[in-house]
Chain A
């Protein structure tokens, strides 16, 4: 509750500080201060000490799973602002407003991580999405940015409609918005529940860019200012997953036979579409968009399995994926050329940077010793424990093999090709932060329990 309220409040504070502080390069400091406040608030949330002792008629529920995720999201955002805060300020003339919108997104993340009611789910998802429509079009004079924003908004509205339809069908069958679905007996009611679940799955699949509802992703990620792509592809995407997992575990966990096969199809389609299409991309930014789709395919295993492994796994996945992707995007923002050729010879010019990018890429590809490997492992393990489908797991493994191709193209470009790639304006502080991220990735890959998963059980 603390995070939800304070992030909204801080969004307003950000907006007003823009009126009082003329220097727009100060905006990131206000944002960092806000994030630190939110982390403290999150700490109290985790220990069930609330500033505002209300769960709004039981519509919100603060359990450790959601709250730990909020911690991950806040820390990722902090890393993101520290690495790319300056780039946010440079997008346009409204630096404070951009940060304000990011805080509103965090408010939505907080709700998505703690809703206990379908209406709250809807509110959380919308609060998360609407600021993103604006941020996508933040580069006002850029036609691509405008186009992306409009596309995102149009298709987002479409998915919102589907989500509402799903909620309505569930309400019609059960007469409640609560996540605990009462048993229904009539065949027609059963049918309505079943259809409602599929519609909700489709709407959420859209939000996490799962196939075949992922078409917006490459265009929007490509068109949006790169800093905001980074935020969308990481914090917002995994927040969508947290909402997805919580819904399917808390509300539909007792009737896996109704929806598991449908989810399995979505997983397979996502893995194949994401990985195969990524192979041919020439732009790293667009490749990362497809990579985010393929990673979503793996994260969907958590929705599919809804068990303890899935919950631990999605937390680990969230941390691993956010760290690596934020890191790569932070470097990408510094590059002059977003194509693979743009990275040619980076290892000669900036050996440390190339090494760090390699670690991030290895983690995304799921190479052992990195957190990316363990999180993929957890996902597959969870689905096996849930009685996973063999063909699905084989598909996932083959797709993971395909992903190595396009991830390693980046390493190949940096290390084995001649070129004069040079990142502009890389200061030691930036490198130090990336080193921290890379070390965290490796530590999470070696000691996942001590660093992250044990907290899940302690708190």
Chain B
């Protein structure tokens, strides 16, 4: 019996191409400023047009400054890239959620605004020139990152030439302990299966832990599928999915809503679906997890010693084998990104931060994932909690996850980061060091001035 992946794939398959690949219809194409300008140029060179402009939506996230979105941007290249996207969207009739104070007010990280606006829906195929497109799978979509030439293909034809994937069911069961979050679950999965364990697979996440998670938490899980090598990650749609979508701007309305829910329900993997592989993880064993190395599988539980033979990673990060990560002095704390920049992430971090203060030597940033997240957070007073605690409260964008804007590490600074990649140089300094962890663990590190076991500080509160 089929999985959701197979059902969605088959519904979108146009034909088998002469190459043996499948031509797959793309239900939603999300576009941003970094990986699209060359694709639009290729379109013009060939005299092609955009096949389904109404299924294409754009925003500016990677290069946008987070201190002020006032146009023109001080960084002339950032301004040029934004202007190019504005021009392309105008020429081809594509809806753009632009930055700037006088724009739609709906700009944000592409993987935050898609679900937020209800553009992301179960049963869709979703493509975007960004590897974290897997995020959208949290709503039961088959969503994957593509390169710029493929952005061109989707613009021109609304289809892609794709090879089918195998499906690995990853079942996480049990109740997460206090201080343990979705981020710790996905870091644990990647640690267990490796950074290339998912090559050739779509990851289907299920089990009681995932069932009990909010859609935001499921997005954190699906977001980092690609860090485990899986281009696609998804969760079967359920009542939480439907409740999340109901009433959102682009979600079906009225009678169409009921028909949509009926279709969405029919797409979930059948109870007796067959999988190419099956992995079971016990949630109760998961600790707050921190990366110590230079790829996202190089992580440990915060109370555990590092155990590795990877001398390159140890040397780069300044650790020794057998050392514990707790107690590592940090320079920067970053809460944000498409992994952990949603309202619930900020709420959870703010709850912990309230009444505490960032250590004097730490630069701490909170970057909401979208302008909407920022507005909602401000309505709840979270901005005041963060700023009172010594965090900087910024505008929406990708920011220090990949440092294509002015938010960068300097020299070999160590960053406690709620983002998704700890690659060498990832946060903007060629020698900068990144330790990935949950937003609450980032907040705890900001306050303690060093990586710390948040559970010890949670006890302080309850004691």
A binds B: no
Chain A residues in the interface with B (C-beta under 8 A):
none
Chain B residues in the interface with A (C-beta under 8 A):
none
